[in-house]
């Protein structure tokens, strides 16, 4: 089966600009996660979707970050406006359902904010 797809792989923007990341989870996976991984740190959960509903977005900086999962399949994460501290790898992961522990990760999008 095809894995989790993410695009773009790399993005360089200036601070205060906007950026969007796209994720296509494994077919049939109900749960989708977005993580932020800053260099030298472990991934930090930003938002978790169950189908097209939000399960947890407690660590999402809602003043600048937004995410949606239309029709419970693809998802988009947006940053507007970007700050220097947003430079990180943004990882998307999916599981069959919320109770399944094995998460399948995409390759990530490396964002550099200058």
Partner 1 sequence: SQELEQSPQSLIVQEGKNLTINCTSSKTLYGLYWYKQKYGEGLIFLMMLQKGGEEKSHEKITAKLDEKKQQSSLHITASQPSHAGIYLCGADSGTYKYIFGTGTRLKVLA
Structure tokens, 56 = 């947890």
Interacting residues with partner 1 between 56 and 95 (CB under 8 A)? 56, 91, 93
Q: Rounded to an integer, what distance in angstroms lies between the CA atom of residue 72 and that of residue 76?
A: 11
Measured from the CB atom, the residue of 70 and 101 that comes closer to partner 1 is 101
- Interface with partner 1 (CB under 8 A), residue from 4, 19, 47, 60: 4
Task: Check residue 34 for interaction with partner 1 (CB under 8 A).
Answer: no
- Beta carbon of residue 81, minimum distance to partner 1 (angstroms, whole number): 26
Task: Check residue 25 for interaction with partner 1 (CB under 8 A).
Answer: no
Task: Check residue 99 for interaction with partner 1 (CB under 8 A).
Answer: yes
Neighbours of 103 (CB within 10 A): 17
95 phi and psi, to 5 degrees?
Answer: -135, 160
- With CB under 8 A as the contact rule, which of the stretches 11-19, 21-29, 69-77, 101-109 interacts with partner 1? 101-109
Task: Check residue 103 for interaction with partner 1 (CB under 8 A).
Answer: yes
- Structure-token match 């996660």, residue found: 33
Measured from the CB atom, the residue of 17 and 104 that comes closer to partner 1 is 104
Q: What share of the chain is helix, strand, coil (3-state, %, to 5)?
A: 5, 50, 45
For residue 93, the cross-strand partners are 33, 105
């Amino acid at each position: 089966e095809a894995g989790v797809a993410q695009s773009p792989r790399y993005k360089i923007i200036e601070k205060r600009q906007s950026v969007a990341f796209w994720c296509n989870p494994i077919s049939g996976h109900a749960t989708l996660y977005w993580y932020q991984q800053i260099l030298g740190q472990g991934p930090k959960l930003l938002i978790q979707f169950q189908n097209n509903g939000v399960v947890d977005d407690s660590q999402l900086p809602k003043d600048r970050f937004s995410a949606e999962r239309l029709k419970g399949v693809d998802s988009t994460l947006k940053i507007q406006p970007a700050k220097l501290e947003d430079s990180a790898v943004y990882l998307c992961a999916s599981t069959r359902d919320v109770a399944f522990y094995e998460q399948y990760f995409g390759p990530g999008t490396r964002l550099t904010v200058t």
